[in-house]
Amino acid sequence: MVLIGVDQLTKWAIVQWVPLYGKVPLNTFINLTHQQNTGAAFSFLANASGWQRWFFVALGVIVSGVILIWIWRIRREGPWILAAGLTLVLGGAIGNLIDRIRFGYVTDFIQVWFGSWPFPSFNVADSAISVGAALLIIDALFLSGRKDKTVPD
């Protein structure tokens, strides 16, 4: 809930204080900006005719439901990295889902520059999804399904 609240609060603040497509430089490589993304990651399908809004809403609801069931099933096993990753992905998905339902787009506002190349703008929810996905990968590669063995097979 905290993640969703921070995500929505930061998006509200950007909408209030930064004009659409405006930029507020924080340093030489990070700007606060105000953008409306009707697509998915990296503005995928942003220029579609409008059907993508409800497609992404449905996808968000389904993914969130699957993650909730997954978290419920592992709640007693204690795989904290897996649970943390799933929770971050879920919170980020819900944060962006709220925007899609309310406005038909997601407000993005963090813009990072690599030299003269801007990385696609993102928000707190996107950051949570990325960190959560990294934790899921770490869990899958190094933790889940592994048992401590004192004697080699």
- Which residues are part of the catalytic machinery? 108, 126
Q: Alpha-carbon torsion 97, 98, 104, 108, what sign?
A: negative
Torsion of CA 71, 91, 60, 48, to 10 degrees: -150
Please check whether residue 4 is in contact with residue 92, taking contact to mean a CB–CB distance below 8 angstroms. Answer: no
- For residues 96 and 105, what is the distance between their CA atoms, to the nearest angstrom? 8
Q: How far apart are CA 115 and CA 74, in angstroms?
A: 43
Q: Are the C-beta atoms of residues 30 and 111 closer than 8 Å to each other?
A: yes
